[in-house]
Each structure stands twice: as structure tokens, then as C-alpha cells.
A and B are shown apart, each in its own frame.
Chain A
Amino acid sequence: MHFKTKSDRWFDGINYLLLSVVGLCMVFPLLYIFSVSFSTMQDFIQKDIVLWPSHWDLGAYKYIFDTPVFGRAMLVSACLTVVITLFNLLMTSMMAFATVHSFVGSKLILRMIIFTLLFSPGLIPSYLMVRNLHLIDTYWALILPGAISTFNLIVIRQFFQNLPKEIFEASKIDGAHELQMFTKLVLPLSKPALAAFALFYAVDAWNAYFNVILYINDTTKWTIQVVLRQIVIVSPPDNNLIASLLKDPPPAQTVQMAAVLVATLPVLVIYPFLQKHFAKGVMLGSVKG
């Protein structure tokens, strides 16, 4: 039985205090964004900081969801995120599994991969490649060029390497071939790592902005971030404080906050479910244990 000494209790107390302060610092901006997005203009002007709206108002959300392309962009982004995440995970893990094995030229391939980490081709060659493959204005332009992130590949590869070799040897004796090893052994054993990188890829896909601007000219194919950036930067017609008190469009600030919330919500929702894998996956991948 371990009794807490006085100094232990002090230590705990200070820890709690500090962590609460840090926690509050994290929560506060989100709460502020949340509250402002639901406030009325009067609330927003009269109070310096809105931490809890006194009147709930859905005007900002109505404004956003009424934006012509919003619904479509949301759907596009959701589908793209799912597809990109699954596709990238598959590509990355297959590549990682392949390079774990030593075969003729495996070291060379690995070196070539690391080479891309040190020297990236730059924007214009990437654009030329995408254009010459006739991917401009297609969703493939968003999926294919980033299918394998070199950094993620190396971390996953490290994770695979740390799986006990004995399992593979045993399965080989039992007659399994490579594909079976990959699907039946490696993938189930690497759930934490895969979950972590699923999150990485999903967040990246959800936040895609720059590639969309670069490769997609057709506005009907735009993703949610491009549309939301529009809403955030280009405020509703009457940005004049007095005018917006009287008129229909909700105040620019509440619309902006609502847009921020809509953009971050999916990531916030997914994160808690993946968090336990996340910490484990990244740690195991990088540190030999």
C-alpha cells in the first residue's frame, strides 16, 4: 500500500492546476467559436466576449447551408476523404510491406524513396505530370499524386519491421504466400499504426485546398475547404454593423465562426475514436520496443 505524502499531494495539486489551465486554453477558443456561431448580432456587439449565447440563433448556419454549392462540396469532400484515406492506406502499407522484404533491388527502391524525401520535384513538374496524364479537372488529380506520403511510408515500414519475424517464418512453413501474409497477418497486427495514419490521411484529405485550386477548374467539383474559405473571407453582403442589425444576412463574424466549426467538426468527431490507436501507433512505429 502506498500512501501519498504531503509533497506528493502538493505535486498532484499543482499538476492538476497546470493541466486544467492548459486544458482551458485549448477548450476556450473552441467554446468561443461555438458560441459566437450561434449568437445573434445584438449579443455579439453588446458583449465583449460571448462564452454562452443568451439567444440561440441558427442564422449563420442557415446562411452557410444556403450557399449554392455548399451541399455538393460537402458531399464531394466526404467521399473524397473516404476514398483517399482507404486508397492511400492500401498503397502505403503495400509499399511498406514490399520494401520490408529484401529482394533484388529492394535497397535501391528504398533509396529512391528516401531520395524523394530530400529532393522534392517542386510545383511545376508536379503540375506538368498531372496535366500530361490528363488528370486536370478530375478527382484523380487529388487522389493519385499524394497516394503515398514518403514520411508515412517509412514510419509504417519501421512498424512492419518490428513485427516478430517468427510469425512470418511460421506462416511460410504453413504454406502462406506473400499476399496472404499481408492480409491475414500484417494488416490485423498493424491496426494501431494504420489507424494513426488513417487519421493523418483523412485530415489531409478533408483539409485539401491548394491542390484543388491548382488542379480543379470546374467549380462544381470543388471541395468544402475551398467553399468555406470563400465564406470566411468574403463576408455576407452587408458587413456594416448597423445594417446587419436590421437586415437579413447574419453578421460576418458569426458566419465565419460557423464556417470554422463546420470545417473542423468532422476531424473533432473522428479524433476521439482513433486517439487510443493514435498514440500507440506513432510511438510503436518510431521507437523500437
Chain B
Amino acid sequence: MKKTKNRMIATLSFISLIAIATACSSGNGNSENSPSASASAASPASSASGADTGKKYTISMLDFTYGKIPPSNGKAIALLNDKFNIDYKPTIVPYDGYQEKMSTTIAGGDMPDVMGIEEYLASGSLHKWAEQGAFLPLNDYIQKYPSLALVPPEIWAAVTNKDGKIWGIPRYYPNTPTQSWVIRQDWLDNLGLKVPTTYDELGQVALAFTKNDPDKNGKNDTYGLVMGPGGAPGYGMGAYWDRDTWYHKDKDGNLIPGYITDARKENVALFADLYKQGAINKGFGANASFEVGQSDFYNNKAGIFMGGIRGMDENLANSLLSVAPNAKFSSIPPFKAPDGTQGLTAQRGYYRITVLNAKLAGDEGKIDRILSLVDFGRTFIPIDQRTPDNETFDFRSGKLNTGYTFDNGTATFTQPDQGLLVSSYLPDSNMWAPSVLDNKYSDTTQSPILKEYVKQLESEYANYEEYVDPQYMGYSETLNSNKGADAILKVADAQVKMIMGELPLTSWDKMVDDFMKSGGTDIIKEMNESLQGRTLIGFKKMGQ
């Protein structure tokens, strides 16, 4: 008797528990609306139309940094408040934990007025939020602000919804080729060879580097191509061969990823042959990291590798000079593809996105104030004008002798955690260079061996076209999931095995088949669907 009574109480209370739970969740639904109500109540003049510079706006901002965190009570905030007539409330958190902070604030209905997002951190959610209209459409504003008007159409396309709404402002990142190639010119000279212009010549040079003692030290201690885990770099000497680029089409006219194309198949066959003859580092597939191969190149052991217009390590270059004082780099320009094109794949051209809260819609004055703030941070200052005389530079650096000091033509900035640097508080402080060449990378490179190489790359960048990869504009959910990553990983793995001779080249079709079955079909379908109606740019001359 007592038992049944207990059970009844338990059941009843369980029901009430569920009732409480559902009540809570419906409460959540309501609360999502409430902040918007309170937000509009907080800005009473929101009904007033048009930009009013006399009015003070409270602007909240959320972003992350890889660097030191500026304090929330820094002096630089006062400078910004004065200049823009705002009450600025920035929250800047470290990279670790930002993903959760971002998703909870958005899901909790607390999204600030302006927010920085990193695509990889937000991954699929970003597209979901954009589609759901969480961000303010910016189409009407982008021509009004000089630094926004500089953004090329293919980069706007990456932050445009299916229905044509631009929902974010991409931040500057150079759009130079994803991979550029570097070859030891001094070795070529020693052997009387020329910089290769076709894959045949590349293979011959790699073999000569392996067998003909290019460093003339009488020892058989050199080889041609450096490869690392996953078979990277892929030595795609043009978008046509690039394994990561969506360039080729299948028989139905759908774009497909480079990994499964015939062009890549021919490359794999060539590399397998070179590997057999010792021109590629032994066992590269098992290397712990990319750095293992890289150190071979900078230790005078290998002759061909990947380089770049920026971000090459000067210490490594100097260490090469200490073992090989005569070392000299040349760039390998893109090869002419069978279809007549000649150009490497461009990079995305942006990294991280600034978004505005959709709830700002209608409050033109506040939108203008926020966008002016964003525009200010993006305004490009030519390298030689970054002096105290330049007003923009002086202000964004927190004013002379406060935020920075200037001696002998070089500015020394205070650390962001002192709160004196205006730029560390801006919603977007990456200056948008009109052209990559404006960054003058060759001037800022110190190492003599790299300086010459970077110069060469810069002229290459001006002379050749770059391919705008359609996948930057499209989106595939499967590709962004673990399933997609696994499928790509398996293809890469199979190709490494083929190059290393562990898997016969005849299994290529089976590899493609497996890829299609384990998600490839979906990836191709989703990507092509999302690209429908978009203008694909193809090759474009960017370096002007």
C-alpha cells in the first residue's frame, strides 16, 4: 500500500518536473525577444531617422584576440568615445573560449551591436545565423564607406546570402596565392639547369638535384622535392593541378575538388616515380609534422619547396645561409596548363568577419556611427606615412608618447594590455590595402636571401592572373562536418600511399569511388547548389 503511494508521488513529481522544464524552455523563447525590447527602449530616439552626429550612441562590441587582452577600462576607449561621440563598450576575450562565448551570447539573445567572428570557430553555425537573419544586411551601406568600397566583388560574395543579402564585413587578409614555389637557384646554376616550366622539367630538375650533387660537396646528401604529412605541399603549379581547388568539372558540368581530378592523378603518378628514384624525402607520409620537411629545405638538404610573399621565417633563412653561404632562391612561376590557363590559386582574401546586429535595422544614425568606426580601423595608411604626422596613424596608435613612441623613423607601440592603443579596441583594425603590393613586403623583409625572392614573387603577382576558388563563395555542410573532413583525409591518405608505392596507381578509380560514397557526392552536390546563381570569377589579375 505504502509502496504504491510512493510510486504515485514519484510519478506525479516527475510530471511536474517535466512541466517545469518545458516552462523554462518556453521562458527562453520569450527572453529572446525581451532584450530587443529593452534595447530599443534604451535608445529612445531610435524612431528619429537619419544620421545625427550630435547624438551619443552606446555601442557594444564583442571580439577575440590572439594577443594580449586590452583592459575594459583602458584610456584609449575615452579617446574613441571623444572622437566618435559614443559610449563604447568593447568586450575582448582570448581565443580559447570565444566559440562558447559567441554562441551563448547569440543564442541567449544578447548579441552586441557589433561582433567579430572567426569562420572556423563558428563553422556551420555562422551560415545558419546568417540565413536566419541574425545579422544586419549591409547592401545599402558598402558604397558609402571608402574602405568598404575597396573590397572586390568575389570577397563580398563570400559573405552574401542566397537571397543576395550581404551580412558581414570581411577583414583584410592578403589574397596572394595559397602556395608559391621556391627553388635553389644556386643549385640550378651549379648544374647548368633552368627554372622548370613544365612538370617534365620539374621532374628532371628534382632528379638532378638528387643524383648530380647540386651543392658540389662530393656527397650524395641532397634530394629534390620536400613533402610532408598528407602529401603537402601538393606542388600544384597552377590552379589546374591544385588538389584543394575547385577548378575542374565532371561530365554533368558540376565543379569538383582537385583531389579527384585527372590532373591530380597525373601528378600523383609523376611523384610516385620521383619517390621511387629518391627525389622525394623517404617516408614523408609518416613525418610527425610539416616542420620536419621544412627543416630539410633550410638545412641545405632539399632543393624545391613552398614559399610565400609574406610570413617566411627570417631565422630559418639565416640558418640556411650559415650552412650554405651562397644559397640563392628563385621562384618557380606557374606552369601553362593544357587548357591554356596559367596562374596559381588566390587565397580567400579575407580572414574573420565583422557583423552588425540585425536589431539595429532602422536606427540609421547608430548604424552610421558603427560603420564609421569600422571604416576608420580599415583605412589604409601607406607604409611610409605611418608617422606621427599622419593624423589617422597617430590616433589609431593612441597618440604620440602615450600609445607609442617614435624614434629614428620607427614606431614602438605599447602593449595592448596597457589599454593605450586605440587600434586594439577597434571592431576591425586591419587596414585594407588597395593592392597586396601596397604592403611592400619586399621592403619590410630583412634577410637578403628572402628579400630577392619576395621581390620576384611580387612581380609574379603583378604579371600573372590568380584563380578565384569558387569554394570561397559556396558552402557545403558536409564538407564542414567531420564526415567531410574524414572523406578528404582518406583521399589524401590514399594518394600519399600511392606516391610512396604502398598502393598501386590502378586503385585510383576505387579511391574516387570510396570518396563519392563516403560523402563526396553530397559535398559536390551541396557546393554546386550553393554556387547556383553566383557569378564565378575564374582567373583575375589582382596585382595592380
Q: Give the interface of A toward B (CB within 8 A).
A: 67-69, 105, 107-108, 111-112, 115, 123-125, 127-128, 131-132, 209-210, 213-214, 217-220, 226, 229-230, 233-234, 237, 240-241
**Residues of chain A with a CB closer than 8 A to B315's CB:** 240-241
B104–A214 touching, CB < 8 Å: yes
- Scan residues 63-111 of chain B and give those whose CB is less than 8 A from a CB of chain A: 66-73, 91, 93-94, 96-98, 100-101, 103-105, 107-108, 110
- Complexed CA–CA distance, A244 and B91 (Å): 32
A128-B31, A234-B67 as given contacts; A209 in contact with B107, CB under 8 Å:
no
**Residues of chain A with a CB closer than 8 A to B68's CB:** 230, 234
**Known contacts A213-B100, A234-B66, then 5 further A-B pairs from the complex at CB < 8 Å, ordered by chain A residue:** A69-B71, A105-B13, A127-B107, A219-B72, A237-B415
Quote the shortest CB–CB distance from A158 to chain B (angstroms). Answer: 22
- Complexed CA–CA distance, A141 and B305 (Å): 52
**Residues of chain B with a CB closer than 8 A to A233's CB:** 66, 94, 96
A210-B97, A214-B100, A241-B315 as given contacts; A230 in contact with B108, CB under 8 Å:
no
A67–B417 touching, CB < 8 Å: yes
**Residues of chain A with a CB closer than 8 A to B93's CB:** 213
Question: B60's closest neighbor in chain A, by CB?
Answer: A217
- Complexed CA–CA distance, A253 and B70 (Å): 23
A217–B72 touching, CB < 8 Å: yes
A105-B9, A108-B9, A233-B94 as given contacts; A127 in contact with B108, CB under 8 Å:
yes
**Residues of chain B with a CB closer than 8 A to A131's CB:** 108, 110
B100–A210 touching, CB < 8 Å: yes
- Scan residues 98-127 of chain B and give those whose CB is less than 8 A from a CB of chain A: 98, 100-101, 103-105, 107-108, 110
- Scan residues 274-329 of chain B and give those whose CB is less than 8 A from a CB of chain A: 315
B101–A213 touching, CB < 8 Å: yes
A125-B24, A213-B94, A241-B315 as given contacts; A220 in contact with B104, CB under 8 Å:
no
Quote the shortest CB–CB distance from A241 to chain B (angstroms). Answer: 7
Contact of A132 among B17, B31, B72 (CB under 8 A): B31
Quote the shortest CB–CB distance from A25 to chain B (angstroms). Answer: 22
**Residues of chain A with a CB closer than 8 A to B535's CB:** none
B96–A213 touching, CB < 8 Å: yes
**Residues of chain B with a CB closer than 8 A to A107's CB:** 6, 10
**Residues of chain B with a CB closer than 8 A to A237's CB:** 415
Question: Beta-carbon contacts of B11-46 to A below 8 Å, as 1s and 0s?
Answer: 001000100000011001001000000000000000
**Residues of chain A with a CB closer than 8 A to B107's CB:** 124, 127
Question: A213's closest neighbor in chain B, by CB?
Answer: B97
Contact of A214 among B24, B31, B101, B419 (CB under 8 A): B101
**Residues of chain B with a CB closer than 8 A to A68's CB:** 71, 417-419
**Residues of chain A with a CB closer than 8 A to B17's CB:** 112, 115
User: Ordered nearest first, which 7 A-B pairs have the shortest CB separation?
Assistant: A213-B97, A127-B104, A217-B91, A219-B71, A219-B72, A124-B107, A108-B13
**Residues of chain B with a CB closer than 8 A to A108's CB:** 9-10, 13
A67-B417, A123-B104, A214-B104 as given contacts; A209 in contact with B72, CB under 8 Å:
no
**Residues of chain B with a CB closer than 8 A to A213's CB:** 93-94, 96-98, 100-101
Quote the shortest CB–CB distance from A185 to chain B (angstroms). Answer: 29
Question: B34's closest neighbor in chain A, by CB?
Answer: A132
- Complexed CA–CA distance, A68 and B419 (Å): 10
**Residues of chain A with a CB closer than 8 A to B25's CB:** 125
**Residues of chain B with a CB closer than 8 A to A115's CB:** 17
**Residues of chain A with a CB closer than 8 A to B66's CB:** 233-234
- Complexed CA–CA distance, A69 and B70 (Å): 10
- Complexed CA–CA distance, A260 and B70 (Å): 22
A111–B67 touching, CB < 8 Å: no
- Scan residues 222-265 of chain B and give those whose CB is less than 8 A from a CB of chain A: none
- Complexed CA–CA distance, A234 and B24 (Å): 41
- Complexed CA–CA distance, A233 and B68 (Å): 9
A226–B94 touching, CB < 8 Å: yes
**Residues of chain B with a CB closer than 8 A to A220's CB:** 71-73
Contact of A123 among B13, B91, B100 (CB under 8 A): B100
Question: B314's closest neighbor in chain A, by CB?
Answer: A240
A sample of 19 inter-chain contacts (CB < 8 A) reads: A68-B419, A107-B6, A108-B9, A112-B13, A123-B104, A125-B24, A127-B107, A127-B108, A128-B28, A132-B31, A210-B100, A213-B93, A213-B96, A217-B72, A218-B72, A220-B73, A226-B94, A230-B69, A230-B94
B97–A209 touching, CB < 8 Å: yes
Quote the shortest CB–CB distance from B99 to chain A (angstroms). Answer: 10
